[in-house]
Structure 1
Amino acid sequence: MNRALRAIARYPVIGATVLVGIVVFSLQAADMPTASTWLAVVYVAGFVVWTIIGMVRDVVRGHVGLDVLAVIAMVSTLAVGEYIASLIIVLMLSGGEALEDYAGRRATRELTALLDRSPRIAHVIEHPDAVDSDQVRDVPADDVAVGDVLLVRPAEIVPVDAELLTEAGSFDESSITGESMPVTRTAGEEVLSGAVNGQRAVRVRALRRSADSQYQQIVALVREAQESRAPVVRLADRFAIPFTAASLAIAGAAWGLSGDPTRFAEVLVLATPCPLLIAAPVAFLGGLSRAAKAGVIIKGGAVIEQLARVRSAAFDKTGTLTEGRPDLVDVRPADGFDPDEVLGLAAAAEQYSSHVLAEGIRRAAADRGIVVSAATEAREAATNGVTAVIDGRTVVVGKPAYVASLAPDTERLSLEPGQAAAYVAVDGRFAGALVLADDPRPETASVVAWLREHDVERVTMLTGDAHPTAEAIGRSVGIDDVRAELLPGQKVLLAAQLRPRPVLMVGDGVNDAPVLAAADVGIAMGAKGATAAGDAASAVILQDSLAKVADAVAIGRHTLRVAFAAIWIGIGLSIGLMLIATTGLIPAVAGALTQEFVDLAAILYALRALTGPAVTLPAVAGPEGSVPATPAQTSG
């Protein structure tokens, strides 16, 4: 009973229409046909006026009003005395809102689950220095400050990105990364917000505020995706005028050939706009939800439509085509410098850099037990290098051209394919170079091959790295078109010039943000928290796997096919039934009821966007041998 009352309160027009229908039938049963007719006419006329006002608002916003067919159908059924049919049309239109809500909830189940699981409460430990103290105060997750020590109880959600203080813990990160198995973290490792703690309570230290944490970034992306309806409008507008014209033409012909105006109304009650108004949006929402389940947050239906049409793809190299974890393989000091000295100074300067090579240099110094001094001054020239003052010495680490501009005696090294070098200068003198190697991801060659097999005509690499390294990586993964040593602005220019379009760009770093924003579709590898890139991108991959690019493209194409198929199912059934109605075989009341089944068929078909075939990456022979064909995701 309570559920029924809530439904009536949520959809008052449905309740009012049902009530009017009951009263109309009661008046007819009481042999009061005039009263029942006038009640139906007044109610339907009021609904027609309300619908026309909404249509005018849509036209002002630049959208074609598809409800014009329903309005004409209601007016025509009233004009020929088929007021029961007109009430059914009112019920159909008002019920369409409820049907859309149901289908929308079903289609966005995965997206909504992410929002519902958003952490809200955190347990802040009052006296964290006391080892056995578990005295806590509960605060909103948004109020947690960086450095707060938190208690996360068993099965609770980690409220913010944090460092694990307990010796070890097990966490379910499936809502963030899509990884179904729990992962074990040890003391000192980062635990992402949104992860579900295992069976033991753990202590963590907040690394970021809630708004800056990984899960909240995902939630923001999801909200943006849910609020986007642009392609739905375009699809509806694309079909609205032709469908309206065809429906009116069939109805007019039926009237003209039969000489009976009732035939006009009987045809139009079957001209349903719901496949355009509801089925297409449901298909796009289903695609967004399926992508979220696969570990890709797509920022709205417009992106899905672009993904479905992608014809060129461009990739950044480091962290995108490659693992993004370069390891130090050699230190080549210049005369007068010691290898450990060069590595220590470089690591000290690179403390202040976000470049992926910097992480490898810092890690190598730590592994060798080299003490890294603090800098008294540091600055970074984006994509070029860093300059820092270490123990009174000016240290520069970066690209050869940048270092050579400050140390003219810089000598370029001869590198093996796939290697990269960070050049070091001290007090204006060349001090040596650090050689690092970053291997391609094992799935990269298969992803490139899959794109080529699926109508992506051009695949290119846009990178700021040196030509020899970039070309070696390109050859190993099957990319012949390699553009290297590019600045961010040059990447943007080249992406704008790529043909054919639309162009997909995939990157992972802060420096990729401009080109991701400039591409027709930008996909950010967001598993490692590249927030700026994620903000600029059209879609964000939550797992550290390039295979999700193939998933995103496949989901986009499947979703668009389902949306168009749902539209054509609705239109095809409607036109077929309208042609039958021209013969007078379908009375107006039966036609209005039949229209509901047409709507339901189109909407149920649109929900097929929630499932789809698995993406299987082809086997490709790479530098390490043959890479087996692997499923990029599971179906449905």
Structure 2
Amino acid sequence: MKRFHYPLVAATGAIGVLAGVCWLIGWQLAAGVIVAVFALGIAGLETVRMIRRLRHGVIGVDLLAVVAIVSTVLVGELLASWIIVLMLTGGEALEDFAQGRAERELKGLIDRAPRSAHRIASESGTIEEVAVGDVIVGDRLLVKPSEIVPVDGTLSPDTTAVEFDESSLTGESLPVEHHGGDLVLSGSINGSAAVTMTATADARHSQYQSIVLLVTEAASRPAPVVRLADRFALPFTAFALLLGATAWIVSGDPVRFAEVLVLATPCPLIIAAPIAFMAGMSRAAKNGVIVKGGAVLETLSRARSIVFDKTGTLTEGRPTITRFRTENGFTERELLRLAASAEQYSSHVLAESVIRSARDAGLELDDTDDAHEVATAGVEARFAGHDVLVGKLGFVAERASGATEYDLEPGELAISVAVDGVFAGAIIAHDGLRANATSTIADLLRRGARHIIMLTGDAPATAHAIAAQAGITDVRAGCLPADKVEAVARLDDRPVVMVGDGVNDAPVLAAADVGIAMGARGATAASDSADVVILLDDLSKTATAVRIGQDSVRIALQSIWIGIGLSVALMTTAAFGVIPAALGAGLQEAVDLVCILNALRALRDPVTPVRAPR
């Protein structure tokens, strides 16, 4: 019936006006027949709807609405019948309005998706406007002032400081300054100067379009708690019918049964919970967190074990090269050049730092004849007939002789390198703890988490040093992807939330009850493994997601109980003949409004968002 709710509201209003005119000119019988026939017709539509739900194994509270309409018609309370019908048909329209209010942030993301780009022809230099879907990697693009960046890309090297508005991506209200060579993400809004850029991804794989896909998927997934009202359907229906029958028997007046039933209509139970969860998802999007459905919010609200990856999650993920250890005649520049050439084919956060260091040193990187990445371990590559291994000590030691473990300072890590089966040395990097990691963990513990665990593939010394700074006592180092999945599966205190980078941690993100991907760097935003994607490079958003989940569940349940409580109180009062049927129907409409307005409170964010560290 939902797609007909606006015509039905209009029809209900027209019937009310027609019946009122008939009543005023003395045609009371005609007025009564008009209302009775229309009300019974709506009751028939509700019955069909109820039967369809029963066929799918869902016991709802539709029966109360049908019984209320039929009983008020039979006892001659036709005004009450019309009010109940208006409430049912108007309730659909009211739900649509409230849901639209809750979806505003999500729809805003979709509506702003870039649709065209200005491509610069490689030979003539002329500019043509093309559909964003026609842009390919390597295209040179012009982004005019105040235009939306169409795809992910890097600014031309000669670009001076330019500000971009990234608020729709990250929730950060202040413009972000970028320079030549920086990566800019689709969906960002250019400032006051035209810039040129080179596309690094097509539209399908760019940040903003990935967010749109996530938002669309999120909006289509209902939460189990949305159907929480149906858990109360049987006892609530039984109570209402029993109370109405008792009032009828004791008073001997069948009108008393109708007076009770008009106050038992189900709109507060049906509408409130979906609105609360849609509002929570909208609030999360406004905070730079995309949640893939209300079911994820419900699970987040009960999180008991929080598992963190280390590199790029608890740490900044931007390691700085501090020193080199060379072996077997290799020089520092040769070691760095070989490592950076191989790391071009890695998705790990350390690869970017090695490549950046090599380019800053003026080194020219080699193109590989063959390369592949071993997840969480390292990269195997072949350059001009030489086999190069870059990665963890254990990964390199299995394939090269003389691999050496060096003494490291707290927070340091070693990137081992081997060439043609000979250990060449290690690049030592430092990746510090995020500034807000300790406060985020403390916040999660305050919100009900009982276990905080670090799972990492790094060496035990490095892992324990970072964990000690963050206040984590349960550390499991040297983990392969399968080890992480097994560790999460064996945790007894559930639900388990896993926080990682969305690429190397994809298997364990999928294995956890809720996987949260730190997706600020672009590629991870499209991860199918994660249930939650944090668009801002800010670990505190993990706690924000949990807080929003808890608020959404609390407000959904609160709205349901408000509806039940007010309905029971009013039904009990009506059982004594105090509330006429027509007045009761009007009071129930007020109960609907109270529940919906309360559910919309899930949109509000009482806490000022934490700014991401620069």
Q: How does the TM-score come out when normalised to structure 2?
A: 0.95
1:167 counterpart (147, 159, 169): 159
Alpha-carbon separation, structure 1, partners of 2:199 and 2:56:
46
Aligned to 1:205: 198
Please give the secondary structure, in 2, of the residue aligned with 1:511.
coil
Shift of 1:438: 0.8
- Identity of paired residues, percent? 54
Report whether the alignment pairs 1:589 with 2:582.
Answer: yes
1:310 counterpart (299, 303, 308): 303
Structure 1 residues 230 and 556: CA distance shift in structure 2, 3 A: closer
Alpha-carbon separation, structure 1, partners of 2:602 and 2:465:
40
Residue type of the alignment partner of 1:632:
V
C-alpha contact (below 8 Å) 1:551/1:633 kept by paired residues? no
| CA RMSD, 1 decimal | 2.0
C-alpha contact (below 8 Å) 1:513/1:533 kept by paired residues? no
Aligned to 2:446: 453
Aligned to 2:516: 523
Residue type of the alignment partner of 2:553:
L
Alpha-carbon separation, structure 2, partners of 1:334 and 1:526:
37
1:496 counterpart (468, 473, 489): 489
2:101 counterpart (103, 106, 109): 106
Deviations 1:69-107 (A, max 9, x none): 111100111111112211111111110111001111111
Please give the secondary structure, in 2, of the residue aligned with 1:506.
strand
Please give the secondary structure, in 2, of the residue aligned with 1:528.
coil
Report whether the alignment pairs 1:545 with 2:523.
Answer: no
Deviations 1:132-167 (A, max 9, x none): x6x533322222222223222222211111222362
Residue type of the alignment partner of 1:162:
G
Aligned to 1:383: 376
Alpha-carbon separation, structure 1, partners of 2:37 and 2:407:
87
Alpha-carbon separation, structure 1, partners of 2:361 and 2:328:
22
Shift of 1:384: 1.7
Alpha-carbon separation, structure 2, partners of 1:553 and 1:633:
18
Alpha-carbon separation, structure 1, partners of 2:407 and 2:138:
45
Report whether the alignment pairs 1:632 with 2:610.
Answer: yes
Shift of 1:442: 0.5
Shift of 1:368: 2.1
Please give the secondary structure, in 2, of the residue aligned with 1:535.
coil
Kindly report structure 1 stretches of 4+ aligned residues shifted beyond 4 Å: 7-10
Residue type of the alignment partner of 1:58:
R
Which residues of structure 1 form unaligned runs of 5+?
Answer: 1-6, 616-630
C-alpha contact (below 8 Å) 2:143/2:194 kept by paired residues? yes
Aligned to 1:427: 420
Structure 1 residues 253 and 608: CA distance shift in structure 2, 3 A: same
Residue pairs, 1:171-182, within 5 angstroms: 171-182=164-175
Aligned to 1:136: 127
Aligned to 2:86: 91
Residue type of the alignment partner of 1:142:
G
Alpha-carbon separation, structure 1, partners of 2:111 and 2:514:
28
Report whether the alignment pairs 1:478 with 2:456.
Answer: no
Alpha-carbon separation, structure 1, partners of 2:357 and 2:142:
33
Structure 1 residues 412 and 459: CA distance shift in structure 2, 3 A: same
1:273 counterpart (248, 251, 266): 266
Aligned to 2:396: 403
Alpha-carbon separation, structure 1, partners of 2:537 and 2:389:
31
C-alpha contact (below 8 Å) 1:154/1:201 kept by paired residues? yes
Aligned to 2:365: 372
Deviates more, 1:167-176 or 1:240-249: 240-249
Shift of 1:129: 5.3
Report whether the alignment pairs 1:580 with 2:580.
Answer: no
Please give the secondary structure, in 1, of the residue aligned with 2:118.
strand
Deviates more, 1:213-222 or 1:29-38: 29-38
Shift of 1:509: 3.9
Shift of 1:559: 1.2
Residue type of the alignment partner of 1:21:
G
Shift of 1:560: 1.1
Aligned to 1:438: 431
Shift of 1:436: 1.3
Shift of 1:128: 5.0
Aligned to 1:196: 189
Please give the secondary structure, in 1, of the residue aligned with 2:227.
helix
Report whether the alignment pairs 1:609 with 2:599.
Answer: no
C-alpha contact (below 8 Å) 2:221/2:295 kept by paired residues? yes
2:117 counterpart (122, 126, 135): 122
Aligned to 1:150: 141
Residue type of the alignment partner of 1:106:
R
Which residues of structure 2 form unaligned runs of 5+?
Answer: none
Please give the secondary structure, in 2, of the residue aligned with 1:369.
coil
Residue type of the alignment partner of 1:50:
L
1:54 counterpart (49, 53, 64): 49
Alpha-carbon separation, structure 2, partners of 1:306 and 1:449:
20
Q: How does the TM-score come out when normalised to structure 1?
A: 0.92
C-alpha contact (below 8 Å) 2:268/2:595 kept by paired residues? yes
Deviates more, 1:351-360 or 1:67-76: 351-360
The number of aligned residues is 609
Residue type of the alignment partner of 1:70:
A
C-alpha contact (below 8 Å) 2:172/2:611 kept by paired residues? no
Structure 1 residues 530 and 353: CA distance shift in structure 2, 3 A: same
